[in-house]
Amino acid sequence: MKAVRGSLLALLGVVSLVLAGCGEKVQTASVSGERKVDGQPWQNKDARYLAPGWTPGDQNSWNAQLANRVQGQNDYAPRK
């Protein structure tokens, strides 16, 4: 009985060690070693959180949106 319990405990220990290893996130450098290319900020396929007032994919629209939005931090901007 003691032997069975001992081997069960040992098995549990091994299993928990193996599972702990699975929880470690991979931190190795990328295989290629080259930096990925970032997209343009006015390109966004996910429309869930887009601020209203501009058209995704249109750079001029994005520029105008940010130029308008930054005035929200200006106390002295003329009120509309």
Provide the binding-site residues for other proteins, judged by CB under 8 A.
24-25, 27, 29-30, 33-39, 41-46, 48-51, 53-54, 62-63, 65-67, 69-76
Cβ 51 vs Cβ 70: under 8 Å: no
Q: How far is the CB of 11 from other proteins (least distance, A)?
A: 22
Q: How far is the CB of 19 from other proteins (least distance, A)?
A: 14
Provide DSSP, 39-66. Answer: PPTT-----TTPPTTS-TT-HHHHHHHH
Q: How far is the CB of 65 from other proteins (least distance, A)?
A: 4
Cβ 62 vs Cβ 41: under 8 Å: yes
